[in-house]
Amino acid sequence: MVSYVVFGRGSFNQLDEILTPQRKVNAPMIFLVDHFFEGKALPNRIPLRGNDKIIFVDVTQEPKTKQVDALAHELREAFGTVSGIIGIGGGSTMDLAKAVSLMMTNPGSSADYQGWDLVQVPGVYKAGIPTLSGTGAEVSRTTVLTGPERKLGMNSDFTPFDQIVLDPELIKDAPVNQRFYTGMDCYIHCIESLEGTYLNEFSKSYGDKALQLCQEVFLGNKEWTDEFDDKLMMASYAGGMSIAYSQVGVAHAVSYGLSYLLGTKHGVGNCIVMNHLEEFYPTGVAEFKQMVAENNIDIPQGICRGLSEEQFEKMINVSKGMKPLWENALGKNWEQIMTRERLRALYEKL
Ligand SMILES: NC(=O)c1ccc[n+]([C@@H]2O[C@H](COP(=O)([O-])OP(=O)(O)OC[C@H]3O[C@@H](n4cnc5c(N)ncnc54)[C@H](O)[C@@H]3O)[C@@H](O)[C@H]2O)c1
Ligand SMILES: [Fe+2]
């Protein structure tokens, strides 16, 4: 779990105070900042000291193992060691920060650690500061990376942040569509966790709360207020906590295939899949569709049209590789239930 959590409007201003005890002599704090903020006001508020460095990270595409390895290599060459890695941005930037922190101390390539509990050595100090809410990346024990072989997280006890700063002012100006897609990641986490076979009271307690908060902000055609940013930020936190002790399910397992092959981004990819999952999550999908309609969001259709046999096979392989997700969704005999043919038919609908 994350060791320290700060929540509140304006809490970003406490960053200097928070980082001071973590500073080591001559070892800089490295701020990985979402490139969206380049030239904006936020970077000027980062409390730089000594040889600290801001690196704007390009998250046009979701994080890749190559990108993580290159960043960690660059920092080791330049500084030897660093005091910490601070990720400021959406799920992609936070995942990059978590992965780079781990690769400052673990040998080899981040691709070697894609899987469950392969990381053996703690990384350097790491803190996460979300500017989009929904992924739960701020609390999760994974960092999702696309590698040469697979799109899969570095799931480990060493992956969670040491500190997170949840300041709802930072998500205030997120574009409506992006806010919705990332927010739906949280909603879908709740449905997949609450409807899953791995469910337990820990996951249910957080999942129920996150679901309620998502319903409060995305249903009822209400005008968006600051209070909604507060709620969405806590929904993301609780949704992340919910899957920390369970798993995601069908929407994620299928959307990983899309993003591996087509580069479809996580939030929108989950929405594209969720739109067609009535048979697995009837109530959740009906409510999801209501949210889409009330918030006037377009969910892309027909993205698998015209794909080759080989491409479908690739997506099916990536998706089938997500064993814990399928097992959570469908139980131990999931392979009999979700046959390659059935998965193929589902991809064809998207
Ligand atoms: N580690 C986990 O547990 C976990 C869970 C779910 C998803 N993820 C990962 O999270 C990523 C998706 O994250 P996301 O949905 O937060 O989006 P993102 O981080 O990919 O960012 C999406 C876009 O929004 C921009 N952006 C970020 N903050 C903004 C702001 N305040 N205003 C305007 N634009 C802003 C970014 O520059 C980018 O163009 C994927 O890489 C996915 O794999 C990780
Ligand atoms: Fe997700």
Digit-by-digit pLDDT tens for the chain (350 residues) are: 999 999 999 999 999 999 999 999 999 999 999 999 999 999 999 999 999 999 999 999 999 999 999 999 999 999 999 999 999 999 999 999 999 999 999 999 999 999 999 999 999 999 999 999 999 999 999 999 999 888 889 999 999 999 999 999 999 999 999 999 999 999 999 999 999 999 999 999 999 999 999 999 999 988 999 999 999 999 999 999 999 889 999 999 999 999 999 999 999 999 999 999 999 999 999 999 999 999 999 999 999 999 999 999 999 999 999 999 999 999 999 999 999 999 999 999 99
pLDDT at 221: 82
Tell me, using a 6 A CB cutoff, whether residue 328 lines ligand 1: no
Tell me, using a 6 A CB cutoff, whether residue 123 lines ligand 1: no
132-149 burial code (b ≥16 CB/10 A, e <16): bbbbbbbbbbbbbbbbee
Task: List the alpha helices (DSSP H) in 167-296.
Answer: 176-194, 201-218, 226-244, 250-262, 266-274, 282-294
Asked whether 130 and 94 are in contact (CB, 8 A), the reply is: yes
- Which of 129, 144, 274 best tests ligand 1's pocket when mutated (most atoms within 8 Å of CB)? 144
Q: Which atom of ligand 1 lies closest to the CA of 181? A: 15
Q: How far is the CA of 175 from the centre of ligand 1 (A)?
A: 12
pLDDT at 152: 87
pLDDT at 189: 96
pLDDT at 222: 84
Q: How far is the CA of 12 from the centre of ligand 1 (A)?
A: 19
Question: What is the sign, positive or negative, of the torsion defined by CA atoms of 63, 69, 72, 78?
Answer: negative
**Pairing relationship of beta strands 115-116 and 151-155 according to DSSP bridges:** parallel
pLDDT at 16: 98
Q: Of all protein residues, whose CA lies closest to atom 27 belonging to ligand 1?
A: 90
Q: How far is the CA of 313 from the centre of ligand 2 (A)?
A: 23
Tell me, using a 6 A CB cutoff, whether residue 109 lines ligand 1: no
pLDDT at 151: 84
Q: How far is the CA of 132 from the centre of ligand 1 (A)?
A: 6
Residue 223 carries which DSSP code? P
Among the bound ligands, the one closest to the CA of 33: 1
Task: List the alpha helices (DSSP H) in 122-200.
Answer: 176-194
